Chains A and B, each alone.
Chain A
């Protein structure tokens, strides 16, 4: 079945460090891919998305490229801030239109 695999956390970085959170997926067809972010005590919010191969989604300095050849959608940011501390979820929307989430990766950014 369709699934999403994320790197385990927590990921701890110093402010201004480069961030990569790995995400790979298994799916039939051509799913849409998403990154959601959950700040402490809140629900999930859409961070960025890509709907076809080679698309790059970007928002708030974060970006991710839909790589069909490696079935990946890694999240990157060039310089993280303390305010980026949150849990990040990779997700895919399959042909049945349901969202399938990865297990989440907690990011902690220290000043």
Chain B
């Protein structure tokens, strides 16, 4: 059981470069999420997709774009990376946004922007 899979696990970028973080889940979940984790600030929601074909902004969407490619995949793109985007990024999914059940998280992608 793979669960939620994120790639890459580590990435170093220079300021201004672009990249895409990939996320895929094999649990047939409807809702998917992207969070960033910074020291002392917990996890903050960047974007989420309540269902295939929809995306919405979270708490900190500036500088990011997302694509819900299909039910399984939800990618996060940085068009022009900035040092402030150095963080650990987590993808998560659950059966439905309205479900009070658990979110399933990937192992994280550590991004450093120089």
Contacts and interface: CB of A to CB of B under 8 A. Distances in A.
Interface string A34-73: 1000000111111001010000000000000000000000
Nearest to B48: A98
Contact size range, B? 20 to 34
B66 to A, nearest CB: 15
Interface in B52-84: 58
A97 B42 contact: no
Contacts of B33: 99
A102 B44 CA distance: 9
A33 B41 CA distance: 18
B102 A49 contact: yes
A102 B37 CA distance: 11
Contact of A103 (B41, B105, B108): B41
Shortest 5 CB-CB contacts between residues of A and residues of B: A43-B105, A46-B102, A101-B42, A101-B43, A103-B42
